[in-house]
Structure 1
Amino acid sequence: MVVVAAVVAMLIFAAGTQGWFLTKNRWWETFALIFIAFTLFRPGFVWDKFFPPLAEKSATELIQVLEGIDPGTQLRLKIKGEKLNGDEFEKVVMLPVGDEATGKERLSSMGIETRDEEGKVIVDMVAFASPAEKAQIDFDQEIVSIQMETDRPPKQIMFFPALVFLVLIWKLQKGRIRKDEELATA
């Protein structure tokens, strides 16, 4: 499906940039064809505006979130810290969730110990050779939030409106061709 959509999008993009589809494009048809091609190439661009792929939860809910996540999945954390030269940074890391029974045990298996400091969750200790150390998490970094994937419809649904607009342009240009042929024979 991806290959077919990409090939169709390339042909539509060529038609849009060359100014011809079935007949010479009007300015708005050129714009529409390029937009249709973009939608077929990257359906998630528009889809992500309506259905965000990630939802952020407060870092204070870390233990509860870990208890609810399936073992073997990835936990996505937004971390904020300071480099050795004093520059602040923010990064997102993904850590594997183990099959331990409680959220605290799962956090410990990732190699992280935390502390609460004025409503913030701070990394207190990182275990040696742990997944957290491999992800370059260090002590005194703040866990800003937990990013959770959202349940959302598949982005390929955007293919349908794009193809409807393509058929509409097809019919409009086909009608113009017929009209031009009638004028030429009259």
Structure 2
Amino acid sequence: MVRETVPWPEHEVSTDDGPVLPARDGAVEEFRFFDTAVDAARGAGLLAALELVRADAALDFELIRGWQQHVLGTPELPLLRTHPGFAKGGAERYGIGPDTHTRLDTCLAQATDGRLSLAARAARAHLDVCFFHPFDDGNARAALLTLLFVLAREGVTLDSVLLIRRFSHRADDPQDALGLCGSVKFHLEQSRASVAQLDG
């Protein structure tokens, strides 16, 4: 699995560790202005899911299903897909097997691995959802919510998610994984700096 070949950045003890609560909530703004402009129900679903993301505790497929019900606006919890999935106009194919659910949960459980930096853990969980592609629709949104969940569990809110959301990252490319990690780190540092300015 490509995931195991990525040289994920390790955690470094720093005075910059700890909660980040900027004046501007980048995910909320993104969902209100970008997604609501695409479709009002889509924006409302993402905002409702984000509230759950920031209140939930343990990361696994069942938890993501609950968010995804809001994202897709379905009357019932969406199921794990049962057929191969495709993305990027068919350029990427995602298989399915009897152990897909278990393997996904195993990967998601590693989001608490304190040996890695917070940016690495958030990026890796995002790519886990992208790679496993568990739903028939809305996997990119599920991946973003998963990333935001990993940050929220550490008390971190980003003041922007543009670099994370606007650029595509392949789940099977170690350099793309590091690129996503770098984008998360950039937004995390920018958010910390904006809080420091307000406090200064």
Q: Considering the TM-score relative to the shorter chain, is it more than 0.5?
A: no
Q: Name the larger-Rg structure.
A: 1
User: Between Structure 1 and Structure 2, which shows a larger proportion of helix residues?
Assistant: 2
TM-score (norm 2): 0.25
Greater share of strand: 1
Higher relative contact order, chain-length normalized (CA < 8 Å, sep 6+): 2
Q: TM-score under structure 1 normalisation?
A: 0.26
